[in-house]
């Protein structure tokens, strides 16, 4: 039977709680302690804890690899990661974040924002803001996107997000293809899933812009902006066709939805 709590044997419920609440460092010992317990609930809990240990160990290795690649491509100096969100939206801004992370402490679970749940993004965003060496943000509004196009808007947003970070970087790592936003930039396709500081920038940008779109939802009711985040969901398209465009819509992106663009 499992090891006792004080002078008595631990109940199955207590053992299950220990296994569920153990940290990654504590799990191997806890699993070993209860691995021979014959109770069905405990055996199930040990199996679940073993799977959690495998998953979290693998994820820690993934994250370590992201920090190692950050150092490999960015060097030992101040490295800023840059990423955008909202490029393909039909409403709301293009948002870019620039984030510099120290090599320690590592932010476990950091990943491309698209691979994370909204709840997990919120948690990680707070952790990033707590440990980041610097964070810069830039928004480009729809009217500017309509006027100068996406390529120029992206270049502007990235260069200004880097400037907003307030520190001159030794290297700038950007997701995707060359943007020419900074003389020290290096780009990597799928960098938001491969380099820690770019992933952090993707999370900060996503959380920041999503919050803006929720606020816009209250200002422009009926357009489903909180749910769609300004992308062309079926409900959002239907609302555009029924009500016309607002001043936060990108008219140049909405030609397929309206014969004659109208303002709300």
Give residue 66's pLDDT: 98
Give residue 255's pLDDT: 83
Query: In degrees to the nearest 10, what's the CA dihedral of 228, 232, 238, 242?
Result: 100
Closest CA to 27 of 51, 61, 3: 51
Q: Which residue spans of the chain are classified as CATH 3.30.420.10?
A: 77-208
Question: For the whole model, what pTM was predicted?
Answer: 0.86
CA 93 – CA 160 distance, rounded (Å): 14
- What are the mean pLDDT values of the chain's consecutive 10-residue runs (264 residues total)? 56 90 86 90 89 90 98 96 97 98 97 97 98 98 97 98 97 95 96 97 98 97 97 95 94 80 47
Q: Which residues of 95-124 are buried (b: 16+ CB within 10 A; e: fewer)?
A: bbbbbbbeeeebbebbbbbeebeeeebbeb
Give residue 25's pLDDT: 83
The answer to whether 37 touches 1, Cβ cutoff 8 Å, is yes
Give residue 7's pLDDT: 45
Give residue 8's pLDDT: 64
Structural Rg of the chain based on CA atoms: 23
Q: Give the distance from CA 244 to its chain's centroid.
A: 32
Give residue 24's pLDDT: 82
* CATH class of residue range 77-208: alpha beta
């Amino acid at each position: 039977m499992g090891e006792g709590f004080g002078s008595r044997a631990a109940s199955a419920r207590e053992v299950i709680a220990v296994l569920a609440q153990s940290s990654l460092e504590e799990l191997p010992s806890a699993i070993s302690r209860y691995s021979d317990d014959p109770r069905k609930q405990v055996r199930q809990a040990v199996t679940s804890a073993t799977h959690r240990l495998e998953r979290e160990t693998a994820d820690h290795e993934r994250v370590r690899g992201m920090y190692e690649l950050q150092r490999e491509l960015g060097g030992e100096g101040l490295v800023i990661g840059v990423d955008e969100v909202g490029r393909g939206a039909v409403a709301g801004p293009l948002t870019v974040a620039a984030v510099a992370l120290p090599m320690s402490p590592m932010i476990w679970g950091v990943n491309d924002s698209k691979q994370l749940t909204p709840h997990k993004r919120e948690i990680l965003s707070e952790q990033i803001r707590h440990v980041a060496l610097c964070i810069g943000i830039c928004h480009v509004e729809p009217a500017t996107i309509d006027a100068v196009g996406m390529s120029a808007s992206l270049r502007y947003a990235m260069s200004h997000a880097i400037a907003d970070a307030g520190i001159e970087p030794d290297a700038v790592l950007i997701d995707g293809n060359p943007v020419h936003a900074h003389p020290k930039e290096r780009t990597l396709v799928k960098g938001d899933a491969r380099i820690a500081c770019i992933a952090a920038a993707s999370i900060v940008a996503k959380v920041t812009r999503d919050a803006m779109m929720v606020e816009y939802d209250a200002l422009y009711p009926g357009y489903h902006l909180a749910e769609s985040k300004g992308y062309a969901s079926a409900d959002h398209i239907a609302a555009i066709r029924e009500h016309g465009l607002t001043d936060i819509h990108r008219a140049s992106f909405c030609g397929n939805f309206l014969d004659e663009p109208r303002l709300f």
